[in-house]
Structures are given as structure tokens and as C-alpha cells.
Amino acid sequence: MSLCQDRVVVVTGAGRGIGRAHALAFAAAGAKVVVNDVGAALDGSSTSDGPAAAVTAEIVASGGQAVANTSDIADWAGAATLIETALSTFGGLDVLVNNAGFLRDRMLVSLTEDEWDAVIRVHLKGHFAPLRHAAGHWRAQAKAGHPVDARVINTSSGAGLLGSVGQGNYSAAKAGIAGLTLVAAAELGRYGVTVNAIAPAARTRMTETAFAATMAAPQSGFDAMAPENISPIVVWLGSRESAGVTGRVFEVEGGRLSLADGWRHGPAVDKGARWEPAELGPVVADLLSKSPPPTPPYGA
């Protein structure tokens, strides 16, 4: 039996790039796929393209099962419609892959309110809204006595883990997604749901322009930046085999898979009373001497 045979999977932003690769990989693993894509341009503006329908047709032509959905996943009602599409079409929901996003890069001194709000909306609210509606369904199933073996795979970024110069809005949103993943994993485990995240590096519309040299496909040999390299860990995390893994962030690039080691409590000192500002200089210096320097942000 295939790894995800008959599991119902929702993938947001599945019309192109990494999301498309996820949808095709899940279908190849036997899943029934809801292919969500609003058909937006790189900056989030609307287009007349129908990428969700195209990917759905590709899956069906190869013998798989899929349905297209064009809901705006950062809209509360749109996210509800997305989850309902899975339930009404395939009779259930087993996996939610939150992937959709776009960029509006600016240095902080040039970043506008609209550019901030748009990126936070599509990445951060666009993760929360589908997650909230899916979680409501799974909680109802669990409380009704129906076994739940569900998965959520969120999409953070190296920018969210380390920061990225010129991407304050994107970095903040992706850091928020990592934090949301930890909270969701802790809260939803009681209902039979695991929640993990990936931080992928691959060639997409968002990266092939900003990092053209790094993302260029090689003349021959292994294409480390191909988006298809990201999907195997996502398919595995969406399978029944991953039941014991939750609250984790995996960095994925080419053939490299690593486990991100997030914020932890570091060196500490306790005076047992309130500090005076003037005495903190040597105290802070001592704490810093006991801890490795932070990894610099991308582009620093």
C-alpha cells in the first residue's frame, strides 16, 4: 500500500512551485488531494491564471484523485470553504499542508503599512484560518468518539528562524508560523493531531529572482534547488508513520534534512533581588561569554 493511500490532503498554494510538488507527491503516494490556489501573482495581486485547475487535471490524468479550490485562505469564510471542500468531496480530512504565500520585500525604512499587512495576512493568518477550521472538525470528530489520526504541516522559512535582511515582514510572519506550530502541537495532540513545520530552500517564484545565482538549475547532475526535493519529508509527515513526531521544525534543502534547534533557555544568573541598572554591564558580559553568538540573519 502507498504511504498515504486514501488519506485526504489539503495543500494551500498548490498551483505552482513547492505547493504543486507537494500536491503531485501526495497524489503519487495514494492520497486524495484538494489543490488550493487563488491564482495570485508573486506580489499577491490577482491574475486570471487557473493553476489549481491545471494541477488537478495533471493529477487526474495520471490516475489520481484531486479537486481544485480557489478560496482565499486568509479570509475566514474562504478558509472554511476550503476545509468543507475536502469534507464534501472526499468525506473527510486527514492532512492540512499550509504552504501559500508571497513576497513584498523592502528594507524596514522603506516598508509600507500595506506591504507589512499583506504579507502578514497571507502567511500568518493564511496559516491560522485553515488550521482553525480543520482543528474544529477534528475536535468534533474526537469528541464524537471517532478516531482521529490527522496531520498539519506548516511552512516556515530560514528567514523566520534566523531573519533575512530586506524581509522584515516575511521574517516576522514566518517566525510567527514557527511559534504557532509549537502551540498547535501542544493543544491539538489530545485530539489525535500532530503539527510540524518545514523551513524549505528551493527554487520558486519567490526565490528565483531574489537569489538568481543560487537558485539556477545546473547543466547536469542533481538539481539541489528543485522544489520536488522538499516534498518527501512533507509526504512522510502527512502519513500515518509520523504519529510520534510533533512540534518540530525541519529545514530542507536539496538532499539535506536537518532538525531546527529553536530558542532555548540559555545561561542565567539570579541575584535574588531587583537589579540596579548600573551593575548589569558585567553581568550581561558574563552571560554572553557563556553562550555562542547567534547565527547572523541571511543577507547580513
Q: Which residues are catalytic?
A: 157, 170, 174
* Residue 234, C-beta contacts closer than 8 angstroms, at least 6 positions apart: 22, 25, 97, 153, 198
Sheet with 65-69, side-by-side order of all strands: 65-69, 32-36, 8-11, 95-97, 150-155, 193-201, 249-253, 256-259
Whole-number Å distance between alpha carbons of 119 and 107: 14
DSSP annotation of 167 reads B
* 3-state SS, residue 124: helix
Return the number of other C-beta atoms located less than 10 Å from residue 248's C-beta. 18
CA angle 159, 160, 163 (to 5 degrees): 50
